[in-house]
Amino acid sequence: MFTVIRNKFVFLLTLFMFINTANAANRILIPASPSVAAKSFILLDFNSGKVLAEKNADVKLAPASLTKIMTVYVIFRELKSGHLTLDEKVTISKKAWRTPGSRMFVEVNKKVAVEDLLKGVIIQSGNDASVALAEHVAGDEATFAALMNQHAERLGMQSTSFENSMGLPSKSHFTTARDLAKLTVALIKEFPDYYKWDSQKEFTFNKITQPNRNKLLWRDKSVDGVKTGYTEEAGYCMVASAKREQMRLISVVMGTSSANARANESQTLLNYGFRFFETHRLYKGHEAVNDVKVWKGEGKKLPVGLVDDLYVTIPRKHYSDLKAEINIDKKVVAPITKGDNLGLVNVSLAGEVIINQPLVALESVEEGGIMQRLYDEAMLLLE
């Protein structure tokens, strides 16, 4: 009898240990984000928007030449709208020529193509080129700064205020690491063809060749942008973007101690993100996820899907642990307008919901004829 009880005890203990071991094996373990020697930083995934690491990301700080990301964004918008062309000539003003700090070395009253000035801003970080473009687009720099702030508001950069186009210090000129990350995502998504200039390592203008100050372009072949900045008040700052396979990450570091430090800290963040996380597109926007039965309509079936692509960023090697649950309204009654919310997709990882997105009608369905409506009304009573 004692032997039987002991065997049962050993069996239960072994089973308990097995379950615990299995649970431990399935436990998702991610190390804490690395220590980064910066006043503020953020690391996020470009496609999913998931923040992978941050510190003081909402603290308002002087952005120095990171300001020029918005300057370039505004010019790209003007090009896309047809208000500006790349070969359009810009007359250099005395104010632009006199602007202190880093420069492209444009000359007063000379006419310079918009494309050259853009490269002077992006690659050489030319303050003179920034002012020249601002004056050409808006008449003066103050008006251009107002335009920058309008775009900042539209992009949801809630803690940002610009007073100039190049980032020289001012009490009312500030932004945050989080806002800069939002801006960078918008820049790359909206203007992939122009964004290629961010990876150019040098640019020659007026027989003067200057290198891109982004040291990571030489150190890491996956890095293809974005901008560096420095003033005594701001310290050394950098926004970096890198793409490895199908995953793109954006890092922002503000207030580091040197040009090497900003590159090293940015590299540390990017390596952490790529090493421990992976991003997947689960659903494509505007493609049918499922069909739903429509009552009292001209059509009986209606495709439903998502407005935009649905990406998730998860710990590496846990893709098989993802589960998607589709919940669709049981009684969908016409008329239905394209874009109407008809359900929800819940995506969970290890039993915890990590994201949900609405399912919308991908087509419109008009109300059916009187006989169809009466018939469906009767059938609904039996449901």
Which of 125, 165, 241, 251 is the catalytic position? Answer: 125
SS3 content of the chain, % helix, strand, coil (to 5): 35, 30, 30
**Tokens at residue 5, please?**
């009880």
299 and 365 Cβ atoms separated by less than 8 Å? yes
**Tokens at residue 291, please?**
């069909």
* 68 catalytically annotated: yes
* 172 catalytically annotated: no
* 65 catalytically annotated: yes
Nearest to 186 by CA among 279, 269, 250: 250
Which of 33, 40, 48, 65 is the catalytic position? Answer: 65
Contacts of 114-119 spanning 24+ positions with Cβ under 8 A: 114/75, 114/79, 114/84, 114/85, 114/86, 114/87, 114/88, 114/89, 114/90, 115/86, 115/87, 116/205, 117/90, 118/72, 118/75, 118/86, 118/194, 118/197, 119/197, 119/200, 119/203, 119/205
Tally the C-alpha atoms within 13 A of residue 298's C-alpha that lie toward its C-beta: 8
Which of 68, 182, 227, 296 is the catalytic position? Answer: 68
Residues identified as active-site: 65, 68, 125
